[in-house]
Amino acid sequence: MIGQRLLRARKAAGPSLRELAERTCVSHTAISKFEKGLLTPSSGQWLCRLFKERGWRKHEPGALYPPEETILFKQLVFHALGEDLVDESKAAELLGRPSC
């Protein structure tokens, strides 16, 4: 049974339930239940452990996507400029551009 194997392996390696929980991102209660055979590990928990081992919980595994640029705000500013609701310097300020 996997629970008994897990208990033997943990005892042989020496970490406490709490230490093992920190290393694997699985709660110490869940590990205890695994060892007693009351709970079986789900794929999600094993994925969490894998992500932690590879450092993906702190850093993304690949390059990040560039931040999205909103177009609607620009359109609203240009619309307000066209309708004379704001002047050119205010529009430049809103768009983060140097004013003329």
Domain ranges of the chain: 2-53, 68-100
What is the CATH code of the structural domain delimited by 2-53? 1.10.260.40
At residue 94, the pLDDT reads 92
Mean pLDDT of 25-44: 76
pLDDT band of 38, cuts 50, 70, 90? confident
At residue 67, the pLDDT reads 74
Cα separation, 31 vs 7, in Å, equals: 9
All residues at 6 or more sequence positions from 24 whose CB lies less than 8 Å from its CB, including other chains: 31, 48, 49, 52
- Each residue of 39-86: pLDDT tens digit? 776 756 776 777 777 776 666 566 667 777 779 999 999 999 999 999
